[in-house]
Amino acid sequence: MKEPDQHKNRYQAEALETLAAALLVKAGLNSERARVVGSILTEADLLGHSTHGLALLPLYLREVESGGMATSGEPEVIRDSGAAICWDGNYLPGPWLMQQAIVLAESRLVVHPAVTMVIQKSHHIACLAAYLEPAARNGHIIILSCSDPMNKTVAPFGGLDPVYSPNPIAAGWPTQEDPVLFDISMSATANGLVAQKHKAGERLPHPWLLDAQGTPTDDPAAFFENPPATILPLGGLDTGYKGFALGLLVEALTNGLSGFGRSDEPKRWGASVFLQLLNPEAFGGLDFFKKEMTRLAQACLGSQPMPNGSGVRLPRSKALALKKIQLEQGIALLPAVWQDLKNCAERYDLKMPDALRIRSH
């Protein structure tokens, strides 16, 4: 059978979400938690984060099957002082844990101006950007970060040995229009993009890796050599000391605050998570906050474009515009992701959803 042309085939977000949930149930996750995980993975693809969306599903299925991702139980409360909560996630599904944490944090904003949660031993939480929009549209500021205390792929600025993980920071806040949303690794790129490019036989857009001899390279294959290349801190060889400092900040907020980290030498794929929600109404007021953030956004958009440039784009516009298109026309899966999903569906005796035919112009 001829495989579909991936440049012309898209898939309904709802159908992909349903497939993801069904596969996770087949692997051993209960339906409610499987639904949440499938929803977050699909949301990541809707926003264009293809490395941290449904591309993760085969890995999650293996983790459920092997017991690496716990299928039962609840997070353990280590400490709870009202506005500060620390959980042991017991390697439960990361997206489900995050949903539970955000619901709890938002409920406590009724009595606390800010609520901070840290989680040790969560399983992988997928794409951070996928959690931001609802909280921001609810009129809250959300700040989210995570680190994998087992993973070491980023070298400190000036060094060659890998010490910590890409350590993203994500945040969202309301304006009088669409919220501002961003999700940025404190390294030059993320592990997932390096792996994706390597699998596709492609180069990275820029020399974001440092090989074992200290030479910058855009060849993702170097990441899989022995000894492997490392990922440069955000800022690269020029201003990477800034990304290094921010990477250390993430380590402090996640592994440091959670009470479990690299010093424990974990052998299990997981995440330490920092989550903070703030209620602008408890400070200078939500209306003023929205007015101020809208004024700033408009000033940025009104900035004279650079020569031969396309002008300023706020950290929200591309992702939200893509989400709108893909909700209407379907999610365009990368060929490798489509093949992986197809293989998973066949292995669990499930049917891939029908492709939506998009006519070429």
Q: What is the domain count for the chain? A: 3
Q: Which CATH number does the domain housing residue 121 bear?
A: 3.30.1370.60
Does 157 share its domain with 303? yes
Does 153 share its domain with 25? no
Does 144 share its domain with 255? yes
Q: Is residue 326 part of a domain?
A: no
Structure-token match 């569906």, residue found: 345
- Tell me how far apart the alpha carbons of residues 346 and 102 are, in angstroms, rounded to a whole number: 35
Q: Is residue 324 part of a domain?
A: no
- The amino acid sitting at 17 is E
pLDDT at 144: 98
- List the domain range (segments joined by +) for residue 294: 74-186+245-315
Does 181 share its domain with 194? no
CA-based nearest residue to 273, from 130, 164, 123, 52: 123
pLDDT at 2: 38
Q: Is residue 236 part of a domain?
A: no
Residue 57 tokens read as 């599903």
Whether the model clears a pTM of 0.85, i.e. scores above it, the answer is yes
Q: Is residue 321 part of a domain?
A: no
Does 150 share its domain with 296? yes
Does 286 share its domain with 143? yes
pLDDT tens sequence for the chain (361 residues): 334 444 457 999 999 999 999 999 999 999 999 999 999 999 999 999 999 999 999 999 999 999 999 999 999 999 999 999 999 999 999 999 999 999 999 999 999 999 999 999 999 999 999 999 999 999 999 999 999 999 999 999 999 999 999 999 999 999 999 999 999 999 999 999 999 999 889 999 999 999 999 999 999 999 999 999 999 999 999 999 999 999 999 999 999 999 999 999 999 999 999 999 999 999 999 999 999 999 999 999 999 999 988 899 999 899 999 999 999 999 999 999 999 999 999 999 999 999 987 654 4
Does 103 share its domain with 123? yes
Q: Which CATH number does the domain housing residue 10 bear?
A: 1.10.1530.10
- Tell me how far apart the alpha carbons of residues 220 and 203 are, in angstroms, rounded to a whole number: 6
Does 13 share its domain with 46? yes
Does 215 share its domain with 179? no
Q: Are the CB atoms for 135 and 275 separated by under 8 Å? A: no
Does 282 share its domain with 170? yes
Pure H helices in 67-203: 94-108, 132-137, 191-200
pLDDT at 308: 85
Q: Is residue 322 part of a domain?
A: no
- Tell me how far apart the alpha carbons of residues 270 and 67 are, in angstroms, rounded to a whole number: 12
Does 2 share its domain with 37? yes
Does 43 share its domain with 138? no
Q: Is residue 288 part of a domain?
A: yes
Q: Is residue 124 part of a domain?
A: yes
